[in-house]
Structure 1
Amino acid sequence: MEDISVITAITHPLRRRIVDRLLLHGPTQVGTFARALDAQVGSISHHLRMLQRAGVVEQVEAPDGDRRASWWRLARRSFTWSSSDFDSPADALLAREAQRANVRNQLDRLQRWYRISAQSEVEGFNTDSLAWATQDELSDLHGRLNAMLDEWRRGIDREDGQERMPVYFFAHGFPTEV
C-alpha cells in the first residue's frame, strides 16, 4: 500500500511530468528540467523536494563531479494504490481523487495521440479484453503486466544506435457489467 504522501506527491501535474522525464531520461539536472518543462528553476527545485520527502526521487552526484549542479534520479519506478487501502475517509478521498487525476492524464495523452496519429509514421495500438476473474486473479494480472513491462524495458538496448521515441502504455483492469 502506498503512503498517501506518495500519492499526493506524484499526482501534481508538474511533479508527474518530472517523474515521467526521469523514467525516460534517467538522472537529470534541475536546469534541464526547467528548460524541458518550461518552468522556473525555483519551482522545479520545490517540486523535487516535495517528491524527495515522499521518497519518490533522490539527489545524486553530478556525472561530471560538478558539485554546483543539482542532479536527481528516481528512487522507485512504479506506484500502485486503491482508495480501499485507506481506513481514513480523508485519505481514501485523496486516493480516489488521485485515481481520477491519473485517468484524466491517461485519457489526455490518448486524445493528444489521436489528434496527431494521422500525420505520424508510427502506428500505436489498442487492446481490450473481457473475462471472469476473482479479486486475486485480477491482482495477479496486474502483477504479471507490471513484470512483463519491466522485462520489456530492460530488454531495450538504448546503446544500439537506433532512434527511439518515448512510448506511453496504459491499461486498466476492473469489474464491469455485461
Structure 2
Amino acid sequence: MEDISVITAVHHPLRRRIFDFLLLYGTSQVTTIARSLDAQVGSISHHLRMLERAGVVERAEDPRGDRRTSWWRLARRGMTWSAEDFADSPAEALLAREAERQGIRMQIERLQRWRRRRGDPNYAEYDAFNTETTAWASADEIRDLSERLRRTLSEWQESIDTADGQQRVPVFFFSHAFPTEP
C-alpha cells in the first residue's frame, strides 16, 4: 500500500507535471524543468523538495560535474493505489479521495486536449485507442489485473529503444477498474 504522503505529493497539479516530465526526459536540471513547464525556478525547486520528502524524486549529480546547478531524477517510476486502501483512517481517506478526484480530472483534461488537437498535422500518424470491457471479478482479481497492467506497462516502457531514430511523442495511458452496473 502506498503511503498517503506519496499520493498527496504526486497529485498536486504542478508536482504531477514535474513527475511526468522526469518520467519522460530523465534526469534534468531545475532550470530546464521550469522552462519546459513554463514555471518559475523557485516554484519548481519548492515542489521538487516536496516530492523529495515523499521519496518520489532525488537529487542527482550534474553530468558535467558542475556543482552549482541542481539536477533531479525520479526515485520511482509509478504507483498503484486505491482510495479504499485508507478506509481505516478518516483523515487519510479524505486526502486519498481528493487525490483520486484530482487524478481523474487530470486524466479527463489530457484526453480532452488530445481530442481537440487530433487534426493537428504533427500528430496525423498517431491514433489514440480506447480499450474497455466488462467482466465478473472479485476484489483479489481486480488487484491482480492492476498488477498485471502495471507489469505490462513497465515492460513496454523498457522495451522502447529511444536511440533507434524514430520520431516519438509523449503518450499518456490510464485505466480504471471498478464495480459497475450493466
Question: Could you tell me the TM-score, scaled by structure 1's length?
Answer: 0.97
Q: Look up the match of 2:111.
A: 110
Q: CA deviation at 1:7?
A: 1.1
Say whether the 8 Å CA contact 1:81–1:95 is kept in structure 2.
Answer: no
Cα-to-partner distance string for 1:110-137 (whole Å, 9 max, x where unaligned) = 0001111133302111111011111111
Q: CA deviation at 1:54?
A: 0.4
Q: 124, 129, 138: which is aligned to 1:125?
A: 129
Q: CA deviation at 1:83?
A: 2.0
Give the distance between the partners of 2:99 and 2:159, measured in 1 at CA: 31
Q: Look up the match of 2:154.
A: 150
Give the distance between the partners of 2:131 and 2:144, measured in 1 at CA: 19
Give the distance between the partners of 1:152 and 1:83, measured in 2 at CA: 27
Cα-to-partner distance string for 1:34-71 (whole Å, 9 max, x where unaligned) = 10111111111000000000000000101111111100
Q: Look up the match of 1:172.
A: 176
Say whether the 8 Å CA contact 1:11–1:98 is kept in structure 2.
Answer: yes
Runs (4+) off by over 6 Å: none
Question: Could you tell me the TM-score, scaled by structure 2's length?
Answer: 0.95
C-alpha RMSD of the superposition = 0.9
Cα-to-partner distance string for 1:123-152 (whole Å, 9 max, x where unaligned) = 111111011111111111111111111111
Corresponding pairs, count? 178
Q: CA deviation at 1:84?
A: 2.1
Give the distance between the partners of 2:157 and 2:30, measured in 1 at CA: 25
Give the distance between the partners of 1:53 and 1:116, measured in 2 at CA: 37
Say whether the 8 Å CA contact 1:8–1:98 is kept in structure 2.
Answer: yes
Specify every segment of 5 or more residues in structure 1 that has no aligned partner in the other structure, as ranges. Answer: none
Give the distance between the partners of 1:128 and 1:74, measured in 2 at CA: 31
Q: Which amino acid aligns with 1:72?
A: W
Specify every segment of 5 or more residues in structure 2 that has no aligned partner in the other structure, as ranges. Answer: none
Q: Look up the match of 2:74.
A: 74
Give the distance between the partners of 1:100 and 1:90, measured in 2 at CA: 16
SS at match of 2:117: helix
Q: Which amino acid aligns with 1:176?
A: T
Q: Give the percent of matched residue pairs that are identical in Structure 1 and Structure 2.
A: 65
